[in-house]
C-alpha cells in the first residue's frame, strides 16, 4: 500500500512565486560550474607529463561535482541537505589550495596524496581478506552488527587481488619510493595520517586552514556547517513555537528560508576554487576576466538583494 506525503510536512510542489528565484539561483551556480569544466578541459589539453598533475584535477573535478549537486538541491528547495555538501566543498578547496600553494612543494604534495590514497586502498584490501588481522577483526564486528549481522560476509574477490597488486606496484615505482618512505615515517608518529600531514604538514583540517591563513573561514563556515551535519543539531531550527497557540511546530522539509544564504555561500566557495585552479592555466586569464565580468552581476545581486521578501 502506498501513502502520499503529508503536505504540511513535505510540500513537494514549489510555490509559483518561489520557483523563478530558485531557478535563478541554480542557474547562477551552474554558470560557475560550467566555467570550471572549461578550466579542466584547458588544463588537460596542455598534456603535462607526470602523475603529480592528477591530484589537482581530481580535487577540482570533485569540487565541481559537489557544487553541481548543491545547484540541483537548491533548484528543488532542498536547502538543509546542502550543508553536508558545502562542508565537503570547503575540505576540497583547502586541499586544492594546499596542493597549489607553491611550485616548490607542488610535486611532493600531489604525490603524497596519491601515496596516501594507495595506502587506503591497501587497507581496504586487508579488511576484506579474512586471513589478515584486519579481516578477522572486521569479521567479528560484522557478526555483532545489528543491521548487517549474518547478511554480509567477507569475501576476498579477484577485484581486491588486482587492486592490491596494482597498489603495491605503484608504491614501488621510483617516483613514489621516497614519498612512501615518508608516509611510513609519518604513520609511525601519527597513526593513519592525513595526506597533507606528510613532510611535517598540518595534523588536521583546522591545522590545514590555519596554515593556509583561512582559519576565519574554518571558524565561520566549517564549524557552523559541521553543527548542521552532525546529529547533535537535529533540533536546531527544526522546531518553533507557534505564537498564537503556544504549541511547538516542526519546520517543514524543503523549507526555503536559508536558500539565499546557501546559494551565496556556494558561489563564494566555487569562485574561490576557480581562482585557485586557474593558476594551472595562466594563459586563460583573459577568459576568466571576461567570464567574471558577466558572472559578478548576478553574484553581487544574490549577495545584496533580498529575493525572498516577495514570498508570502
230 has pLDDT over 60: no
- pTM, full prediction: 0.86
Q: Which of 10-24, 124-138, 207-221 has the lowest mean pLDDT?
A: 124-138
Report DSSP state, residue 76.
Answer: T
Q: Among positive and negative, which fits the CA dihedral 174, 176, 181, 182? A: positive
104-118 residue pLDDT tens: 999 999 999 999 999
- Residue 279, exposed/middle/buried by CB under 10 A (0-12, 13-18, 19+)? middle
Q: What is the pLDDT of residue 240?
A: 47
Q: What is the pLDDT of residue 141?
A: 77
pLDDT averaged over the chain? 87
Contact 307, 12 (CB under 8 A): no
10 has pLDDT over 90: no
- 210 backbone φψ class: left, alpha, beta (φ>0; ψ -120 to 50): alpha
**Beta-carbon neighbour count of residue 303 at 10 Å?**
14
Q: What is the pLDDT of residue 59?
A: 97
Residue with cell 531550527: 237
Mean pLDDT over 42-64 rounds to 96
Cα separation, 108 vs 96, in Å, equals 14
pLDDT tier for residue 30 given thresholds of 50, 70 and 90:
very high
11-28 residue pLDDT tens: 777 788 889 999 999 999
248 has pLDDT over 50: no
Cα separation, 99 vs 281, in Å, equals 15
Contact 281, 42 (CB under 8 A): yes
1 has pLDDT over 60: yes
Q: What is the pLDDT of residue 247?
A: 46
Q: Which of 145-149, 165-169, 191-195 has the lowest mean pLDDT?
A: 145-149
pLDDT tier for residue 76 given thresholds of 50, 70 and 90:
very high
Q: What is the pLDDT of residue 5?
A: 75
Amino acid at each position: 500500500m502506498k501513502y502520499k506525503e503529508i503536505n504540511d510536512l513535505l510540500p513537494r510542489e514549489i510555490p509559483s512565486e518561489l520557483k523563478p528565484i530558485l531557478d535563478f539561483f541554480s542557474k547562477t551556480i551552474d554558470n560557475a560550474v560550467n566555467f570550471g569544466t572549461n578550466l579542466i578541459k584547458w588544463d588537460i589539453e596542455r598534456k603535462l607529463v607526470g602523475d603529480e598533475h592528477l591530484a589537482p584535477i581530481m580535487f577540482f573535478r570533485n569540487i565541481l561535482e559537489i557544487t553541481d549537486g548543491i545547484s540541483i538541491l537548491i533548484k528543488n528547495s532542498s536547502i538543509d541537505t546542502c550543508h553536508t555538501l558545502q562542508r565537503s566543498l570547503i575540505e576540497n578547496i583547502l586541499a586544492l589550495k594546499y596542493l597549489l600553494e607553491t611550485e616548490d612543494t607542488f610535486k611532493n604534495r600531489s604525490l603524497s596524496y596519491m601515496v596516501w590514497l594507495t595506502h587506503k586502498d591497501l587497507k581496504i584490501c586487508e579488511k576484506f581478506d579474512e586471513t589478515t588481522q584486519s579481516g578477522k577483526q572486521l569479521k567479528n564486528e560484522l557478526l555483532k552488527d545489528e543491521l548487517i549481522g549474518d547478511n554480509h560476509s567477507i569475501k576476498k574477490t579477484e577485484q581486491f587481488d588486482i587492486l592490491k597488486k596494482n597498489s603495491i606496484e605503484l608504491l614501488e615505482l621510483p617516483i613514489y619510493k621516497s614519498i612512501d618512505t615518508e608516509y611510513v615515517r609519518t604513520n609511525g608518529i601519527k597513526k593513519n595520517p592525513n595526506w597533507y600531514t606528510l613532510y611535517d604538514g598540518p595534523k588536521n583540517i583546522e591545522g590545514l586552514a590555519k596554515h593556509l591563513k583561512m582559519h576565519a573561514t574554518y571558524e565561520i563556515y566549517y564549524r557552523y556547517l559541521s553543527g548542521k551535519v552532525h546529529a547533535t543539531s537535529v533540533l536546531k531550527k527544526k522546531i518553533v513555537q507557534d505564537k498564537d497557540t503556544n504549541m511547538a511546530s516542526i519546520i517543514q522539509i524543503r523549507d526555503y528560508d536559508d536558500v539565499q544564504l546557501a546559494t551565496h555561500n556556494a558561489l563564494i566557495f566555487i569562485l574561490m576554487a576557480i581562482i585557485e585552479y586557474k593558476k594551472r592555466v595562466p594563459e586563460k586569464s583573459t577568459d576568466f576576466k571576461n567570464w567574471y565580468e558577466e558572472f559578478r552581476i548576478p553574484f553581487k545581486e544574490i549577495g545584496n538583494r533580498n529575493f525572498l521578501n516577495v514570498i508570502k
